[in-house]
Structure 1
Amino acid sequence: MQLSGNQAERTAPVALALHAADPITAEGVLAFLRSVPEQVTVLPEQQESEAEVLLLLAGRVTDNFLARMRCRTFTPIPCVLVANAISDAQLVRAIGHGLTGFLPRQQVTLQDVVDAVRSSRSGRTQLPDSSVDLLVEHFRRMQQNLNGGAAPGGLAEREVAVLRLLAEGMDTAEMAAHLSYSERTIKNIIHGFITRLGVRNRTHAVAHAIRADVL
């Protein structure tokens, strides 16, 4: 039986470019990847322009690491990142640079990494649930701004709703239940307006909203 072009691509090894923040990690991962040649082919540095997926390995994600990632992805290809953790702001930036998969380093096996790489080539995205919540909120806020959904004082409607509940003395769990959001989403909303408004804390944010006649 002859495979179609798409089927052949799905079964063929993924042409992979590998970059790691430290050489010891790189050697260990590289040894495993070379043991599964039917799934991935790691390209030498001089052939990286032919890669279908970029695999990035890091302990801690830094701004310098993301800057290097941006330089390496000037030709858009899917990127899979394995790291200890990534901040909300860094995740949004990384997705802008082509990130399609993020795997927490402590929670995955090397086969999980290979599976994520192969999924990435097929156009699928693999992110933790908490990261998905963050991105939904981020793009929803962007859409609100595009649609003119901002309240007075430069605050989105959802931010005003959270500020009203803060002014009533509710904690994160109570606000999440009242608005039918996850606690993670509430924290992201609060972090977003505190950062954007340049205020010190939740109380200062409520005071700012009152002065702006939002509350």
Structure 2
Amino acid sequence: MTVGRPRVGVRAADPLIRAGLVALLRGAPQLTVTDAGDGGRPDVLVVAAGGEAGLALLLSRVTREVAAPVVLIADELSPEALLSVVRFRVRAVVPRRSVNAGALVRCVTAVAAGGGVMPPELIGCLLQHVDRLHRDLRDVAPAGTGGLTEREIEILRLIADGLDTDEIAARLSYSARTVKNIMYGVTHRLNLRNRPHAVAYAVRAGLI
């Protein structure tokens, strides 16, 4: 967290873009813009990039030069790209189309204070990505579960309760095809004949 007026550095491959960003930031009395050669260590680094291609390489280079949290200006980023760049201390993302003095100053001051800023649509995509990762983790069978994952046990429990494929899919917010594929995986992997045999297996194992 920065105390006082934050010092801001700017990096961009295009010198015209860098000059424009410096001009925007120098118009903010609450910030101090540092030049690359003045020896001042910035508290926040503003990095202007294009798309995802070469983004990690660019961030790796500039953050080796300056150990400061980053406000990234970029075109559309996927959640996967965002997850890959946060390791380079990216704390805020400003879509290129949304760059203006107010948005840029808000992001820089928020990051200098220890916070972060992300576009709402990117946060939504990121949360969906994290949810998918969480679901994938459920597919790893921990010890003591008879070789069944948490998701597989949950589906077997619902089958034992008398629900059919469509009802299970609706209950768990899956597609019917996903439920069928999961059950095929269970019976094939454990050499079980059918769904009743799979339910009996889970009952004998004390899982449902």
TM-score scaled by structure 1?
A: 0.60
Pairing 1:26–2:15 present: no
Q: Give the aligned partner of residue 172 of structure 1.
A: none
Query: Conserved in 1, the CA contact under 8 Å of 2:152 and 2:182?
Result: no
From 64, 68, 71, the counterpart of 2:61: 71
Secondary structure of the structure 1 residue equivalent to 2:20: helix
Secondary structure of the structure 2 residue equivalent to 1:150: coil
Secondary structure of the structure 1 residue equivalent to 2:3: helix
Secondary structure of the structure 1 residue equivalent to 2:47: strand
More helix by share: 1
Please list every run of 5 or more consecutive structure 2 residues that lacks an aligned counterpart in the other structure.
142-147, 155-164, 190-194, 196-208
How do 1:1-215 and structure 2 match up within 5 A? 9-10=3-4, 12=5, 14-36=6-28, 38-47=29-38, 50-62=41-53, 64-74=54-64, 76-137=67-128, 149-151=138-140, 210-211=184-185, 213=187
- What is the CA distance between 1:121 and its match in structure 2? 0.4
- Report the Cα distance in structure 2 between the residues aligned to 1:156 and 1:136, rounded to whole angstroms: 23
Check 1:179–1:79 CA distance in 2 against 1; reply closer, same or farther (3 A cut): farther
- Report the Cα distance in structure 2 between the residues aligned to 1:156 and 1:130, rounded to whole angstroms: 32
| AA of the residue aligned to 2:59 | M
- Report the Cα distance in structure 2 between the residues aligned to 1:119 and 1:72, rounded to whole angstroms: 21
Query: Conserved in 1, the CA contact under 8 Å of 2:8 and 2:32?
Result: yes
Please list every run of 5 or more consecutive structure 1 residues that lacks an aligned counterpart in the other structure.
1-5, 162-167, 170-174, 181-185, 187-202
| AA of the residue aligned to 1:39 | Q
Check 1:39–1:159 CA distance in 2 against 1; reply closer, same or farther (3 A cut): farther
- What is the CA distance between 1:131 and its match in structure 2? 2.6
CA distances 1:126-169 after superposition (whole Å, capped 9, x unpaired) = 11223323444555666788xx74345xx9867999xxxxxx78
CA distances 1:22-80 after superposition (whole Å, capped 9, x unpaired) = 222222222222233x2222212135671101101123232x23212123224642111
Check 1:156–1:67 CA distance in 2 against 1; reply closer, same or farther (3 A cut): farther
Aligned pairs, how many? 176
Check 1:157–1:71 CA distance in 2 against 1; reply closer, same or farther (3 A cut): farther
Q: Which has the larger radius of gyration?
A: 2
Q: Percent identity?
A: 23
Check 1:131–1:67 CA distance in 2 against 1; reply closer, same or farther (3 A cut): same
- Report the Cα distance in structure 1 between the residues aligned to 2:44 and 2:34, rounded to whole angstroms: 10
TM-score scaled by structure 2?
A: 0.62
- Report the Cα distance in structure 2 between the residues aligned to 1:136 and 1:40, rounded to whole angstroms: 32
